[in-house]
Amino acid sequence: MSTPERPAVHVWDLRAIRRQLVTMGLDWDAPAYSEEDPAASTALPLPPPQIDLGPLARRKEDATRASPVSP
């Protein structure tokens, strides 16, 4: 997630949030998340992230062309 003020990445532990919501009677009507830790060493590796620079991609290309790299 990014914001107009500054880029940011936010990560939430949805399992922990839902556990807290259950104790408050505020959980939603959906199957519970697996208790298996997705970060465990037995978990399958995640695919490499794909980054979409959006409008910044063009700016990056323009900047690269404007200042050639010296050998």
Confidence at residue 6, expressed as pLDDT on a 0 to 100 scale: 72
Tokens (6 digits) for 47: 């695919």
Tokens (6 digits) for 64: 């690269």
Model pTM score: 0.44
The answer on pLDDT for 18 being more than 70 is yes
Give the span between the Cα atoms of 30 and 18, in whole angstroms: 11
Residue keyed to tokens 């399992």: 15
Confidence at residue 36, expressed as pLDDT on a 0 to 100 scale: 79
Question: Which of these ranges, 3-7, 10-14, 58-62, 66-70, has the smallest mean pLDDT?
Answer: 66-70
Confidence at residue 7, expressed as pLDDT on a 0 to 100 scale: 72
Residue keyed to tokens 């107009």: 4
Radius of gyration of the chain (CA): 21
Confidence at residue 51, expressed as pLDDT on a 0 to 100 scale: 82
